[in-house]
Every structure is written in C-alpha cells, then in structure tokens.
Structure 1
C-alpha cells in the first residue's frame, strides 16, 4: 500500500488529508498514523485549537484549523484543497440525533463541492431498522451513510466497534462488597467486538493509500471478538484482581438512571443479535501492527490498574 509515484519527491506526492475530530479518540488515532506516513500531509480540524491536544499537534508541525460542523463557511476552509477527508460526527455532546445528522450533512455537502477525491466516514448500522428499537447514536450515522451513498462522492464507510479503552474509562469496573470487581456491561455470554481505537488509525491510513480497493465499501473494524468472561480472565491474570461475571441484563442497564443509559442498553441488545457486522481479519489486514489483546493490556497496564484501584 505504498504511495503512488513513489519515485517523485516527497513534497510533490504528499496528499492533504483533512481529519475531523482530530483531538478526539477516532480522529486522534487517524492523525497518529497519518503523520508516520510520508504519503500525506495533515490538516487537523478541531473546535478548540487552544486546547492542549491541539497545541501538541501544532508543536509537531501539523496544520490545525478551527471549524464547527454547524458552520458551513468554516467547513469550506477546512476541506479546501484536500485530497481526502476523514469524518467522524458527534452525538453524545448534545444527545441529539437530528443535530448530528444535519452537521454531518453539512460536511458531506462541502466535501462534494470542494472536489475531494475520497471521503472516509465513521458510520454505524441502522438499529431501528434491524431490531425495531431506536438507537439514536447509531441510527443518525446510518442515515448519514445513506446520504453519502446517494451523494455521488467516492467514499468508504468504516464502522468502529466498542472501544477497548472503555474498560478503564467510561465503563470501568465496579468494586463489589467482597473485594472483587465486575463490569456493568450487559453482554452475558455473547461475544463483544472491541476496537483498539488509537490503533485503528492505521486502517484509515491504509484505506486512503489504496482507495481503489475500498471505495463504495462498508468495513466493520474490530481488533478482537470474545466474551466479557474471556476479556476479564486475561485482566485477572495480568493485574492480579478478581473479576466476577457480570449478571446485569440490558433491561436492568436501561434503568441505571445516568444520561444515555437507555440508548446504550439498546446498543448492547443490538450487539447481542449478531447483526453488528465486524471483521477482525480485515481489520488486522488493514492494520498489520495492531496489538493482540494481551499486548494491548500490557500497553495499558497503568490505566487498567488505576481503573481497578
């Protein structure tokens, strides 16, 4: 998956990639791998160019621009002259399906107008159509996928899995009265696809490098797929903790009372159906350097220990 015209001077063959959400999880991972590759120049898009992550990118010599997906004029500047665009949209900040769709549509329209050659969009399935229950942070992206498919753009859809990083952050384990821990993740014995989100940026980079292989496709990204018991067993061995098998159901989860509990309960129910199409083999083909699950735990030992403290 080398650069085209590899005998030319690097500065002549580098293609500009605009990365939305460049200081977030997905976009940040994409930036990390793009900057290692001599095929591309990067334009990192953020709403907060004065933040610490943005300042770090600037220090590394990466172009950082301020843009908001609700501000069309700022989007025009962000994608001007770009060969490719990586687009990730935001549901959780406003919990607003329509807002996410409309903002994503703004970007797609501007990208088409700009003459961009390849849009990679971080999408998801339409859960409401597949299981008859609304899951807004999936459904909004699915509707945007459809809009992109009808736009005439050259595109690739990537669908991320459950973030492994959730194990030590948003969904870190709870300590039980007997000193053991458990994850409030209602998957029972069902397998759960997990993505190492920072490492998935290698997939995006290699799709940009070989667009003819991936244009028009939807690719489900997953680093590993196994049961929560299997994920927990390795954590026990590596971290010296006891992790109980979670007993919580999706119905119980929906009643936990925190913002988004009902939405996430439907997501987990969708995961259980097997209709969430992810491809570990393809993901690892696109990301040859991706860690094994054991290697990932070793790399994140300190974060995991803190989560179990």
Structure 2
C-alpha cells in the first residue's frame, strides 16, 4: 500500500510543457514544489514563484548546485531536454546522468523519470535510446525510481499534426500507415500521473508505466475530429520523406512497429482514472474545426 508523502517535491523541467503539467498537478494537491531552474529571473520561473513554487538555481554542468537543490526533498521528477539533432543526443545523456548522480548524493527517497515509450530497450531511435541509457543509469544507481514513459502528445493535434479543413471535410495527414495505431497521451495526464506517483497516492507496477491514454489508427483519429466537427473526415498516409530530419524519421519508423509493443490502458487508468482518451481530450480542449479552408 502506498503512503501519501507531504514533503517538498523537486521538479526539473518545470518551465516546460510536461514539467509544467507536473507542477500544476502537484500544486492542485497543495504540495510544496521546488523548481530547479537555470535562470530564476526568467519570466517563466517568476511565474512559478508567483504561484508559491520555490526556485533553486542550478547548472547542469555543476554537480554541487544540483545536489544542493535536491537536499531534503522527498521526491524528484525530471525529464531531459529533447534532442532535436543527432549531436544533441549525447548532451541529453550527460544531463540525465548528472541529475541521477545528484539525486544519489542528496539521498532522494524517490525519483520519477519522464522517459519515452519503449525505453526499456534499445530501439534504434537515437533520442529514444538516450532515455534508455538514462534509465539504465538510474536503475544501477540504487535509487528508488519510477519510469513514466510518454507516448505521442495529443496536443500535437493543435500544432504539427493538426487536421485541416478542405472542401467541407476534415483531413488528417501523418507519415504513418493507415492500419497502424498511434499511442498517445495528453500532457495534462502526464502531469497527473507523475504527481500521483510522487505523492505516493499510486504506484506503478514494476516501477514503470507506459503512458497511453488512447491508441487509434489514422482513420480513427480523423473520424474522432470529424465527429466533433459534425463533418466527414478522411485520412491520408504520407511518406517518411515529408519529415524534416533523420530523428523524426527514425521515430515514425518506430511508431509503425506499434503492434510489437502492446499497450495496457488499464494500468494507466488504475493510477489516474480520469485519463483522457482522444475524444474526451478533443471535447475538454474545446477543439473546433479550422476556419482557414484549404483548396476552395
């Protein structure tokens, strides 16, 4: 049985999208939060401070500042900066390794690492294998650790994967075969699940949870948006060549192998029963069909 913790929770990445969602969920539970930030005077850091978050100035290349920032905390959530280029992968591993080592030095009782789906093994996707390396370092550290392995963000459907409106029809295009389901999770739910684990109100079986709120094929995703808009919908599978870099191409090749790694949505909902599926996320965000009509 888990026991709810009431001490300070440290968060690295608090000014970002996922870390910010963790802070939101922790504050909703009246938890004490310490954000590890590079620049406490930045607008985002000051916005956290205005909400009662303690700020701890750190440098990723300064082990002493990291260990000092983690002193006396009861839990620690961290994620690593996403590598957008191959040369950034090694830097991501260095930062993750330094954070783990600092948590060891500070004697942090519980660490939650925001990883990626499939990081329990090498996948051939460089910016996923970097998280596998960090997971391995964390596992060997002796710390009590939980891995939360995120999948594709539903929020991407408001930006890089947004459906379009063409001649009165919702159209979704992705570089994914139409019979392959895409595993996805809302950023809000990443925060809720991580907070539950950090606060001790839930536990992940085996020390890891694959964060999947829904799993749908391209045509099913398009249909969900079409249903919300009250319009017909269709899906078009695109070639990988439309992607801007080799990292994204490697990632979508891995997405296409989704059936090799089945999801267990029940595990996620045992931690956070209110985890959104895609249709619920569409309604919760107030999504509406684009107004810029293409092709007419």
Query: Is TM > 0.5 for Structure 1 vs Structure 2?
Result: yes
The one-character-per-residue Cα deviations of 1:197-253 (angstroms, maximum 9, x if unpaired) are: 1222111122123389448522101111111211111211212455431221xxx32
Provide the aligned C-alpha RMSD in A: 2.8
TM-score normalized by structure 2?
A: 0.86
TM-score normalized by structure 1?
A: 0.83
Structural mapping, 1:34-183, within 5 Å: 34-38=26-30, 40-92=31-83, 95=86, 96-124=88-116, 125-126=118-119, 129-130=122-123, 134-173=124-163, 181-183=171-173
The one-character-per-residue Cα deviations of 1:60-116 (angstroms, maximum 9, x if unpaired) are: 111123334233233123212111110100133564111100110000000000010
For 2:170 and 2:267, how far apart are their aligned partners in 1? Answer: 36
| Aligned CA distance change for structure 1 residues 62 and 307 (closer, same or farther; 3 Å) | farther
Alignment equivalent of 2:13, drawn from 21, 36, 61: 21
More displaced stretch, 237-246 vs 28-37: 237-246
| Aligned CA distance change for structure 1 residues 204 and 307 (closer, same or farther; 3 Å) | farther
What is the Cα deviation at residue 183 of structure 1? 2.2
CA contact (8 A) 1:18 1:84 kept: yes
Q: Does 1:287 align with 2:272?
A: yes
What is the Cα deviation at residue 3 of structure 1? 5.3
Q: Which is strand-richer, 1 or 2?
A: 2
Partner of 1:8: none
For 1:176 and 1:218, how far apart are their aligned partners in 2? Answer: 42
More displaced stretch, 239-248 vs 115-124: 239-248
Partner of 1:192: 182
CA contact (8 A) 2:79 2:114 kept: yes
Partner of 1:31: 23
More displaced stretch, 231-240 vs 46-55: 46-55
For 1:31 and 1:307, how far apart are their aligned partners in 2? Answer: 33
Partner of 2:252: 268
For 1:77 and 1:237, how far apart are their aligned partners in 2? Answer: 52
**Where does the alignment leave 5 or more consecutive residues of structure 1 unmatched?**
5-12
Q: How many residues align?
A: 290
Structural mapping, 1:180-259, within 5 Å: 181-210=171-200, 213-214=203-204, 217-248=207-238, 252-253=239-240, 255-256=241-242, 258=244
Partner of 1:10: none
What is the Cα deviation at residue 59 of structure 1? 1.4
For 1:24 and 1:44, how far apart are their aligned partners in 2? Answer: 11
**Where does the alignment leave 5 or more consecutive residues of structure 2 unmatched?**
none
CA contact (8 A) 1:127 1:270 kept: no
